[in-house]
Amino acid sequence: MCFEFDRDKLCKSLSGLDGIRWQNVEYRKLDMLRPSPKQWLVSELPFLKRAPYEPEQELRIIYSSATEEVETFDVPIEISWIKRVILSPWMPVALRQSVIETIRDIPGCRSITVQSTSLVGSQFWRKKVLGAVLDGSRKR
Burial class of residue 82 (count of CB atoms within 10 Å of its CB; 0-12, 13-18, 19+): buried
pLDDT band at 121 (very low <50, low <70, confident <90, very high): low
- Straight-line distance from the first to the last Cα atom of the chain, in angstroms, rounded to the nearest whole number: 41
What is the pLDDT of the chain when averaged over all its residues? 85
Q: What is the pTM of this model?
A: 0.67
pLDDT band at 67 (very low <50, low <70, confident <90, very high): very high
The predicted structure's pLDDT at residue 137: 64
Reported as a single tens digit per residue, the pLDDT across 5-64 is 999 999 999 998 999 999 999 998 877 666 666 777 888 889 998 888 888 889 999 999
Mean pLDDT on 121-131: 71
Alpha helices by DSSP H, listed for the chain, are 7-14, 30-33, 93-105, 123-138
Q: How far apart are CA 30 and CA 51, in angstroms?
A: 8
Q: How far apart are CA 73 and CA 112, in angstroms?
A: 25
Q: How far apart are CA 85 and CA 3, in angstroms?
A: 5
